[in-house]
Amino acid sequence: MSYIDLTTTNFNETMDNKEIVFIDFWAEWCGPCKKFAPIFEKAAASNPDICFTKVNTDEQQAIAKYYAVYSVPTVIGIRDGIIVINQEGMLSEAGMDDLIKHVKSIDMDKVREELESEEG
> What stretches of the chain adopt beta strand conformation (E)?
4-5, 20-26, 51-56, 74-79, 82-88
Could you give the CA distance from residue 9 to residue 54 in angstroms, rounded to a whole number?
Answer: 14
Question: Within 10 A of 118 (CB to CB), how many other CB atoms are there?
Answer: 7
Known catalytic residues are 30, 33
